[in-house]
Each structure stands twice: as C-alpha cells, then as structure tokens.
Chains A and B, each alone.
Chain A
Amino acid sequence: MLRYTLTRIGQAVLVLLVMTVLLFLLINLMPGDPVDNMLEGNPSLTAASAAQIRELYGAGVPLPVRYWNWITAAVQGDFGYSSIYFRPVAEVLGPALGQTLKLMVATLVLSVPLALLLGSLASLRPGGLMDNLISFFAFASISLPNFWLSLILIIVFAVQLGWLPASGTPLETNPPIWLEVRHLVLPVLVLTMFFVGPLVRYVRASMIETLSSDFVRTARSKGLSEPQIIIRHALRNALIPMVTVLALGFGGLFSGSLVVETIFGVLGMGKMIFDAIRYVDFNLALIGLLLATLVTLISNLLADLAYAWLDPRISLK
C-alpha cells in the first residue's frame, strides 16, 4: 500500500510539473502582453518607465528562461503581482479559494444524500414508474446547461417571485451568516443540479447490482424488514465505490463552478480565473489554473488511493 501510494504521488507530481510547462506556454499565447495593458490603462507612463517595467516583467527574455524564473519563484511562494487586483497573487487567492470551498461543501452536503435517496428509490423496482422518473431527472441534470439554469432560476426566484437575491455575494462588508447563506442558495442549487445527475445514475446501478447479491437474499430470508435490508446491508456496500466517484467528480465540480460563480458574482476561484483570463492578468491566471489543476490531481489521487484502500481486491500495480 505504501509503495503504491508513493508511486501514485510521484506520478501526480510529475503530471503537475508537465502541467506547469503546458499552462505557462498557453498563458503566453494569450493576446497582448501585460505591459501593453498597463500602458493602455495609464497613458502618463513614459517610454523609459515602460521599458523598466518590461524589464521587470522579463520581456525580451527567451521563454524557457522566463519559465525557469517563474517556477523557481513560485516554488518559494512568490506568485508575482496581480495586475487587475493590484495585490500579490497569493493575497487574492486565499479569500477566493475560501469562497469556492463554501460552494463546494454546500453542494456536496446537499447532493450526496439526495443522490443516495433518489438512486436507492430508483433501484427498488428497475423499470418502474419511480425508476423512470428518477432516470429522467438524472438525464436532465446531465443535459442542463448550467449557465441557462442559473438564468432561469434568477428569473423565477429573484425577478418574478423576489424570494432570493440574484447575486452570490452580499453587499455588506461583514454580512451575518444567514444573509450569506441566502445569497448562496441559488448558486448552490445550480451546482447541485449539475453534480447530482451522474451520482444518481451511479448509486442506482450500484444498488441494483448489490440488491441481487447473495447476502441480500440471505438478509431477506432471515426475515429482516425491507428498510433494514436496504439501509443497513445494501446501501452500505454500494457506498464503497461511491467514494471514488465523489472524489473524481470533485475536480469537475471545481472547474464547473466557474460558470456559476461568474453569473452569480460569487468571488471565488472560478470567477477569479475567468476575470484573469478576460483582462489578461498573466500571473493570476497562471496560478489560478495551476491551483485548479492541483485540485483535480489531488482528487483523482485520493480517488485511486481510496479505491485501493477500501477494496483490498484491487491489485496494487
């Protein structure tokens, strides 16, 4: 197990290194360069100071050297300066990450029980009315464009009914918890709808398989009640591989929240990355993307490890 873990971590680190190169190249292919943007925003900059800034940013230095300078600084915790927030990138990242994590946690807390409930209900009678309805719901969840669902929810709940705010961030500087929660209801709802579909399908398939296994038949013949069989025997077994699915989905959720954060104006990682790309903030975009990659990598890694740990039959090769 230890060896397997170390190998997988080693692989993940290698992938991360390759990603830094890939993302660095990509970011450098974005239009314009940071100094041009600065000159546009501030016409009083003299040619001399522009040249100075250019030198500071390392313009004219060949790409491999620039990459080396950037990566050595980044490893030491120096992520550079954000040109849209006028603050060090590290300072911008913290609050944004916190905000995104709030969304993620709320979505997980909501969608996991929902998926368990719907998935088990559907598995009770495959092909029945309940199963068909729930499968339809799962298909809808997979097929819904989340930006459109956001718009529709805003129209219905914020504009027409006026029940909930249309933005994800309260205007007050230090909002009370309940206010913050109210603002996060719609974004979390959209993310849950986005996240729950594949989970439901997974729980359903896994439960159908488990319910037809021998130990469930034994439990039935012992005379256990149906709820007891389902909750204590079947669901617990079906849950094991669920951990992997959840971990794998987490990376997707993190990246999918970009759209939701942008529409609702939640000041999280997704919106930060989007703004950084839109306003050509090279340093911020680069670190933001790298962090998002790291989240995906770590969740994939955890998925693999959890799978091997929970199911000893997996060969650790």
Chain B
Amino acid sequence: MSMNQAEIAGLPSAPRQTIWQLRRRRFLKNKPAVIALGFLVVLAVLCGVAYPLGQFLGVDPATTNLLYRFQPPSTEHWLGTDELGRDVLLRLMYGGQVSLAVGILGTLLTAIIGITVGLWAGFVGGRIDAFLMRATDCVIALPMTPVLIVLGAVDLGKLGLAPAMANSPLVIFLRIVIIIALVDWTTIARLTRAETIAVRQKEYVKAAQVSGARRFYNMMVHVLPNITTPITVAMTLSVGRIILFESTLSFLGFGIVPPTPTWGNMLTNAQQLIISAPALAVYPGLLIFLTVMSVNFVGDGIRIAFDPRSKS
C-alpha cells in the first residue's frame, strides 16, 4: 500500500489532478466556450441526421419542382423551399455536412503540412531552415482570396486527370480541402518552428541526441509531444478560418459546385433573390457565422484553459 507524505503526516493534501483534469475544469469555467461547444455538438448531430430526416419527411433535397418555388414553411418543408422548389432545411443540413467536413479535413491537412515543415526547419536548422522559411514567406505574400480562386479555377485536365474524374463530387471536395491547405499551412509552420527551436535546446533532447537517438526519432518522440499545446490551439482556430475560405470560394463559384449544397453556394443565387426571398439569403450565412464564431470561441477557450499563465 502506498501512502504519500501528506497522508502520513496527517496534513490536508491538495486534491490530486492530472493536467487534463485541470484543463477540463478551466475550460468548463469559460461560459462562452462551453455554450459554443454545445452549439457545435448540436449542429453536428443535426447535420448528421439529414438523411434520416429526409426519409422521415419523405422529402428529397435534390428534387427540383418549379411549380413549388419559394414556399413558406410548412409541415412538409420546415423552412420552406428555394428558387428551384427544393427543401431549404435539408439542403442546409447537407450543406453543413460539407462545410464541417471541409473545415476538419482541411485543418488536418494544414496541420500535417505545417507541422512537417515547421518541425523539420526548426529541428534541423541551417540552410534547410532558411530555405523552408523563405518558401513560407513566399506563400504568406500570396494574396489569399485571389490565389484561392485561381487554384479553384485550375483545370485538373491539364494536370493529367480524366475529365469524368475531375468533375466527380469527391474530387471536387478533395480539391477544395487541398487548395485551402496549400495556402493556409504557414501559420502552423511558423508556430511549430518557433516552438521546436525552443524545445530543441532542452537537456532531455540533447541527452537523447548524445545517447544516439536518430534525428527523426528524436523529433517525433521528444520534440513533437512537447509542443502539441500551441499547435492544438492554432488548429482549432484554423477550422473556423477554413470554413470561411470554403464558403467564400463556393459562393464565388470556384469551390464546391451545385448540385452539391454548401452554405457558401446556397448564397450564390441569393443576390438575385434579395427582393423576392430575402430569407434564403439569411439562413446559410447565419449558419456560417454562428459556426465560425463558435469554433473561435472554443479555440479561445482551449487557449486559455491550456495556458498555465493565463488567469482563469
């Protein structure tokens, strides 16, 4: 039986807690962040049940019906129908699936590129570091929105992809994820590099090096696990940014293209409908706004909860 010193001495001991318990407690104290997280969970679940709900209501979101346009909300179409007679609610739910998926997948890819570049540059240093950082500077100097549009306009056929494949929904989806990751990795790369340089100097890393640890092993086992906190925070914040990029691109017609609904492309036609059906312009944008706002609040909450120096 093990007893610690405090118990032996009969002194009151502070409740023991792991770092994760502490972080969770600090996060839960942050009301806006908790509300935002709750909203995101509810939203994800709602978007997830789009298919069963469609079955239940007997409504197919892809069916157009020109005799049934701009219907007000009814028991069959809870939010009415759009300019082609399609169910607005179900399209919003399917659009949410796409937006959230792009946000999460895009962030993962962004993080993979960013962490690889940052870790490598920071740990190896020297010329490789200089080269990678100049490359990062180049990408940062790119005007974000215009370049995303050019990348969205790139003809995959010229890159040797068969036309049928280039226009398949899956490829279009993946290409959005990839092009956003291609311009958005710089923040995480710079952050990872700075953190890596700070950790590289630590004794345990040096000790491992002296004991003959390979460079890759050392990076993965001793450096990366110790810099996950700031990277996690940066990743959360980039989810919101990526959702905004995707919706902007889709709105302009260079992202996810109809008939696949996304919150962005549901607004493409809204500009012509602002007089006849202004509600159609409100819902998708409001959802983008609330989602991105929630993600940012959660990110801020994580930042405060994970930072031992910040006051709770």
Contacts and interface: CB of A to CB of B under 8 A. Distances in A.
Interface of A: 11, 14-15, 18-19, 22-23, 26-32, 136, 139-140, 142-149, 151-152, 154-155, 159, 251-252, 254-256, 258-259, 262-263, 270, 273-274, 277-278, 285, 288-289, 292-293, 295-297, 300
Interface in B122-171: 134, 137-138, 140-147, 149-151, 153-155, 157-159
A148 B267 contact: yes
A292 B143 CA distance: 6
B270 interface: yes
A143 B137 contact: no
B191 to A, nearest CB: 16
B248 A147 contact: yes
B261 interface: no
Interface of B: 32, 134, 137-138, 140-147, 149-151, 153-155, 157-159, 240, 244, 247-248, 251-254, 264, 267, 270-271, 274-275, 278, 281-282, 284-286, 288-289, 292-293, 296-297, 300
Nearest to A26: B150
Contact of B146 (A31, A155, A270, A297): A270
A273 B292 contact: no
B52 to A, nearest CB: 29
B36 to A, nearest CB: 10
Contact of A31 (B145, B157, B247, B267): B157
A262 B252 contact: yes
Contact of B296 (A142, A256, A285): A142
Q: Chain A interface mostly helix, strand, loop or mixed?
A: helix
B73 to A, nearest CB: 19
A139 B32 CA distance: 11
16 contacts: A15-B134, A31-B158, A136-B32, A146-B248, A147-B252, A148-B281, A148-B286, A151-B270, A154-B271, A159-B275, A256-B144, A258-B145, A259-B252, A277-B153, A289-B147, A296-B143
Nearest to B254: A277
Q: Could you say which of B142, B151, B288, B296 has the most chain A C-beta atoms within 10 Å of its C-beta?
A: B142
Contact of A145 (B253, B274, B292): B292
B274 A147 contact: no
B274 A293 contact: no
A145 B138 contact: no
B143 A254 contact: yes
Given A29-B155, A259-B252, A143 B141 contact: no
A262 B267 CA distance: 14
A255 B144 contact: yes
Given A145-B244, A293-B141, A152 B285 contact: yes
A61 to B, nearest CB: 16
Contacts of A151: 267, 270-271, 274, 281, 285
Nearest to A12: B141
Contacts of B147: 26, 289
Nearest to B146: A273
A255 B285 contact: no
A293 B143 contact: yes
